[in-house]
Amino acid sequence: MIESLISNLRTRDALTAPDEDAVRDLFQHENRFRAGEDIVVQGSRPVNSTLLLEGLAARYRLLEDGKRQITVLHIGGDFVDLHAFILKQMDHGVIALTDCHTLAAPHRRLQAVTEENPHLTRMFWLLTLIDGSIHREWITAMGRREIKGHMAHLICEMFYRYRAVDLIEGQTFRFPITQAILADVMGVSTVHVNKTLQILRSDGLLIWKDGRVQIPDLQALETLAEFDPLYLHFQSESR
Amino acid sequence: MIESLISNLRTRDALTAPDEDAVRDLFQHENRFRAGEDIVVQGSRPVNSTLLLEGLAARYRLLEDGKRQITVLHIGGDFVDLHAFILKQMDHGVIALTDCHTLAAPHRRLQAVTEENPHLTRMFWLLTLIDGSIHREWITAMGRREIKGHMAHLICEMFYRYRAVDLIEGQTFRFPITQAILADVMGVSTVHVNKTLQILRSDGLLIWKDGRVQIPDLQALETLAEFDPLYLHFQSESR
DNA sequence: CGAGGTTGTTAACTTTTGTTAAGGTCCGAA
DNA sequence: TTCGGACCTTAACAAAAGTTAACAACCTCG
């Protein structure tokens, strides 16, 4: 639902009624993508930006030898390519990891927002900056965390992001991602992902079954991950 | 010089005379930092954004065990923390890797730009998006490139970025960075950096001496790196 | 001039991570 | 029902990368 975008924005700053109306007026047609389909093709020049309503999507780059690196995961309430409004050409692809339901925001309308509504412009700018902030955190995890910490950090991030759009049920959330995809997220081999998951499970830090993650002791997982949610910028500020 | 910022912007889109005036009016006081000093402290709430005029700076995160990861390098003409204008609180630090000379843009004035000049707002937004684009490229390099390719990719990136601000002399550029810092950029050990450099040197792909990098065969280096400069978004577009 | 620090280099050894391959489970389609 | 595919798991082995330590080159500072 579009409510998760509104909620993503409201978490970070108050929206006036006209702001909220402008957000709702932004979107035109719906789309559905099957798992495995490209939502946005690398190299293309989108004329819409895509809001993910439901499903799991990923930005990714392919190398010549077929290796794939995922650079960010997107859940409901995320724009998967808001940056394309400014960048014009996609320097990566976006793939639906599960069946996805989306809404398209024509760049023409985004342009109008930037001409008429400075506050909302800054809020959209903010959303793209949070993506960048997540990128930095991933770089840190890939470069300087041991793999257990990296995995724990990723789970913490997804927990907080799902919570922000109210998708935590109990201490669990649906996270239907295969170990092979997880390997492309973390930049390691699938075997290594598998072994790391075994360890986290046997340490009692993680229960992951049937596409659902349960965190028995969030505090312990955060400690292992050295997790600090500051980088997700959930604080409400005047922006 | 502030000219390198103007040049960074003009590469990506035409600036009107009022745009350019507004850019020049943005800045207030100068600052100088010694190598090793923090330009921006992690966790702080800057009231200015900092344009780097001269020198080499890095955004970084420290982990509890003292490990450091650098998430992006900045050269003359880059804002090192333009994103802080919107994000408000720094989720990482910025350090001067060499002596640095900077100009401060008060957030108050940036705010005025966003209220009054939609085009310039989008151009500043663009600069932060290019940072994000570089982040994604680094994630890909860290996760899925062999270390030789990673190193080659980094050198290509710096070559193109220095060229955009006219700091390439011959096929060389000043890049006074120690191998230890390079290790924090690439997320590997200093010994590994050293061995990789030896290989690139003996392959004739790189001459690196006294803080100056020479690329004898850019084409060969780009091939090794699978380098595609699209992600730096040098194309001039109507934005 | 000499002491001490920074940086780069190298080697020996350890640890982490990847590769390959095989087997198991589950599930949907023929 | 059976077949095949997707996914998970495990093991043996290979390769990549880290750690530690020693030393050399160079520079700065007293």
Statement: the pTM of the whole predicted model exceeds 0.85: yes
Q: Are residues B61 and B39 in the same domain?
A: yes
> Do B123 and B33 lie in a common domain?
yes
Is residue A238 situated within a structural domain? no
- CATH label of the domain that carries residue B189: 1.10.10.10
Condensed to tens digits (0 to 9), the pLDDT of residues A21-69 reads 999 999 999 999 999 999 999 999 999 999 999 999 999 999 999 999 9
Q: What are the CA-CA distances from residue B71 to residues A83, A132, A170 (Å)? A: 19, 10, 35
How many Å apart are B224 CA and D16 C1'?
A: 18
B44 vs A: CB within 8 A: no
Q: Are residues B114 and A118, on separate chains, in Cβ contact within 8 Å?
A: yes
Under DSSP, the state recorded for B55 is S
Q: Which residues of chain A have pLDDT under 70?
A: none
- Residue B90 sits at the vertex; the CA angle it makes with B233 and A17, to the nearest 5 degrees, is 80
State the Cα torsion B220-B226-B230-B233 to the nearest 10°.
Answer: -80
User: Which amino acid type is present at position B77?
Assistant: G
A23 with A112, same domain? yes
**Domain finish residue from B135, B155, B190:** B135
CA B115 to chain centre: 27
Query: Would you call A71 and B145 a contact, using CB atoms and an 8 Å cutoff?
Result: no
User: What would the pLDDT profile of B180-236 be if each residue is shown by its tens digit?
Assistant: 999 999 999 999 999 999 999 999 999 999 899 999 999 999 999 999 999 999 999
| pLDDT of amino acid B69 | 98
**Residue span of the structural domain in which A49 resides:** 3-135
**A100 DSSP β-pair partners:** A33
Query: CB within 8 A of A66, min separation 6: which ones?
Result: none
Are B25 and B125 in the same domain? yes
Residue B142 lies in a domain: no
Q: Which residues 106-125 of A are in CB contact (within 8 Å) with B?
A: 114-115, 118, 121-122, 125
Residue B50 resides in a domain: yes
Chain D: positions less than 7 Å from a protein CB are: 6-12, 16-21
Range 2-41 of B in CB contact (< 8 A) with A: none
Token pair belonging to A177 = 């991602």
Residue-wise pLDDT for B131-179, tens only, equals 999 999 999 999 999 999 999 999 999 999 999 999 999 889 999 999 9
Q: Assess whether B179 (CB) lies less than 7 A from strand C.
A: yes
DSSP letter (8 states) at residue B120 = H
Same domain, A52 and A95: yes
Task: Answer with the one of B93, B108, B135 that is the final residue of a domain.
Answer: B135
Q: pLDDT grade, residue B1 (50/70/90)?
A: confident
- The kind and range of the H/E element at B214 are strand B212-214
Which residue among A135, A155, A174 closes a domain? A135
A180 CA vs C20 C1’ separation (Å)? 16
CB pair distance less than 8 Å for A71 and B139: yes
Q: How many CA atoms within 13 Å lie on the side-chain side of A179? A: 13
Q: CB distance A139–B140 less than 8 Å?
A: no
Q: Are residues A88 and B131, on separate chains, in Cβ contact within 8 Å?
A: no
Residue B33 is assigned to a structural domain of this protein: yes
Dihedral of alpha carbons B218, B219, B224, B229, sign: positive
Number of A to B CB contacts under 8 A, please give it. 152
